[in-house]
Amino acid sequence: MTNRPDGVRIGLAEGATLDAYVLIGADGIDSAVRRLVFGPETSCLRHLGFPTAA
Protein backbone atom coordinates (compact mmCIF):
# COMPACT_ATOMS: atom_id res chain seq x y z
CA MET A 1 0.00 0.00 0.00
CA THR A 2 1.28 3.45 -0.93
CA ASN A 3 -0.32 6.76 0.06
CA ARG A 4 -0.61 9.15 -2.88
CA PRO A 5 -1.82 12.77 -3.10
CA ASP A 6 -4.98 11.61 -4.92
CA GLY A 7 -5.66 8.44 -2.89
CA VAL A 8 -3.92 5.13 -2.37
CA ARG A 9 -2.20 2.49 -4.51
CA ILE A 10 -2.73 -1.11 -3.41
CA GLY A 11 -0.53 -4.02 -4.48
CA LEU A 12 -2.38 -7.30 -4.93
CA ALA A 13 -0.99 -10.78 -4.23
CA GLU A 14 -0.77 -11.70 -7.94
CA GLY A 15 1.31 -8.59 -8.69
CA ALA A 16 -1.35 -6.23 -10.08
CA THR A 17 -1.96 -2.80 -8.53
CA LEU A 18 -5.15 -0.84 -7.90
CA ASP A 19 -5.51 2.92 -7.48
CA ALA A 20 -8.37 4.11 -5.27
CA TYR A 21 -9.60 7.22 -3.47
CA VAL A 22 -10.07 5.33 -0.18
CA LEU A 23 -9.06 2.03 1.38
CA ILE A 24 -11.51 0.42 3.79
CA GLY A 25 -9.95 -2.29 5.94
CA ALA A 26 -12.61 -4.84 6.87
CA ASP A 27 -10.29 -7.78 7.40
CA GLY A 28 -11.07 -8.55 11.04
CA ILE A 29 -9.45 -8.28 14.44
CA ASP A 30 -5.95 -9.15 13.17
CA SER A 31 -6.21 -6.55 10.40
CA ALA A 32 -3.30 -6.51 7.96
CA VAL A 33 -4.65 -3.24 6.55
CA ARG A 34 -4.53 -1.57 9.99
CA ARG A 35 -0.92 -2.71 10.48
CA LEU A 36 0.06 -1.32 7.06
CA VAL A 37 -1.61 2.04 7.71
CA PHE A 38 -0.86 2.61 11.41
CA GLY A 39 2.07 0.31 12.21
CA PRO A 40 2.23 -1.86 15.35
CA GLU A 41 -1.09 -2.29 17.14
CA THR A 42 0.09 -0.52 20.29
CA SER A 43 0.59 2.71 18.34
CA CYS A 44 -3.11 2.98 17.43
CA LEU A 45 -4.62 1.94 20.78
CA ARG A 46 -5.94 4.62 23.09
CA HIS A 47 -7.57 4.20 26.51
CA LEU A 48 -11.05 5.76 26.44
CA GLY A 49 -12.10 4.91 30.00
CA PHE A 50 -14.98 2.66 29.00
CA PRO A 51 -15.55 -0.52 26.96
CA THR A 52 -15.91 0.01 23.22
CA ALA A 53 -16.34 -2.15 20.14
CA ALA A 54 -16.02 -1.36 16.48
Beta bridge partners of 17: 11
pLDDT of residue 21: 92
Confidence of residue 19 (pLDDT cuts 50, 70, 90): very high
Could you tell me which residue, 15 or 46, shows the higher pLDDT? 15
Give 30-49 pLDDT, tens digit per residue: 888 878 777 776 666 666 67
Q: What Cα–Cα distance (Å) separates residue 30 from each residue in 17, 18, 21, 40?
A: 23, 23, 24, 11
pLDDT of residue 54: 62
Nearest-angstrom CA–CA distance, 48 and 6: 32
Is the predicted pLDDT of residue 5 greater than 80, yes or no?
Answer: yes
Please state the domain extents for the chain: 2-44
- CA end-to-end span of the chain, whole Å? 23
